[in-house]
Homo-oligomer: A and B are copies of this chain.
Amino acid sequence: MHQPTDALASPRFTGVRTFARLPHVPEIAGADVAIHGMPWDGGTSFRSGSRFGPEAIRSMSALLRPYNPAVGVMVFGNLSVVDAGDAPTVPGYIEHTLPRIEEFVSGIIDRGAIPLGMGGDHSVALAELRAVAKRHGPVAYVQLDAHHDLWDAYNGLPYNHGTFAKRAIEEGLIDPAKSLQAGQRGSLYGPDDYEVAADLGIRLVPWQELRHWTPAQFGEAVEKRAGDAPLFLSFDIDFVDPGVAPGTGTPEVGGPSADQALDFVRALKGRNLIGGDVVEVAPQYDGPGQQTALMAANVLYEMLSLIALRRA
């Protein structure tokens, strides 16, 4: 079973950086979960740089240990996990990049592993969703994010990190009736911006509402919509307060603390997670302490915990 290098025997700052010091296994054979990078930032509307997000998350994930006391599960003892490396991308050409990421993620799924991705800007989720929908049909979809990414177009062109979720609904990758977005905040283009979610059939819980919910309430809202359907969880790091996670491209002030943000992920306990990602980590804008990349590594760790808990 694929396990991380033991930190008590070999210091955590040693070794070629893979996620959580897991073995780098491009062929993925026999893994329950494959962590993979999607180094692409061509769909970014403000600050680029998330093409180095996977490198940064790998670097800080060296701090992860096998057992998660917050939810009481042995993550790496129960799951065989690998770092599958990075999907190929083509700088400057979003329409050539998305199919390559899709194919890469499909390769993971075809080998029987659950894909957990490290972005890369959020447009990569369209590729991931194409891959998971190819296997599972329209999936339940939960998006924790300061933005809904349901805009129609920028400059009249269809693909970028602010439009991908609308595309995913249009392409039938997501079942909106089973899906939910939460955490949206910040200024908008107009008073109807949030209504587009209702029009498309997906539930939207803005941060102004979510901040008054308990994690349990959030978990129930997701359970009510998604039930046991195959569920893809997309976590945009800008969901978190930029005071905590400044290293991202389109920060919106306010938002959950680190504890709150992790609690919302933990609230999905019991759901049928068949894929997920953490996106929009732009290490150029992170502090020298790389707190944003560390946060992202921990979010992925909580996703691994959800999978381990369900399998346990």
Contact = CB atoms under 8 A, between A and B. Distances in A.
Given A208-B70, A243-B291, A289-B242, A55 B187 contact: no
A213 interface: no
Contacts of A16: 16-18, 24, 58, 83, 85-86
A213 to B, nearest CB: 14
Interface string A145-189: 000000101110101100000000000000000000000011111
Contacts of A262: 253-254
Nearest to A190: B67
B41 A48 contact: yes
Nearest to A93: B157
B187 A85 contact: no
Contacts of A15: 85-86
B46 A62 contact: yes
Q: List the 10 shortest-distance A-B pairs measured between CB atoms, nearest first.
A: A246-B289, A243-B244, A284-B284, A285-B289, A65-B187, A92-B94, A48-B48, A254-B259, A42-B92, A14-B86
Interface of A: 7-18, 24, 37, 39, 41-49, 51-52, 55, 58-59, 62-70, 72, 74-75, 77, 83, 85-94, 96, 123, 151, 153-155, 157, 159-160, 185-191, 193-194, 206, 208, 211, 241-248, 250-255, 257-259, 262, 284-292, 294-295, 298, 301
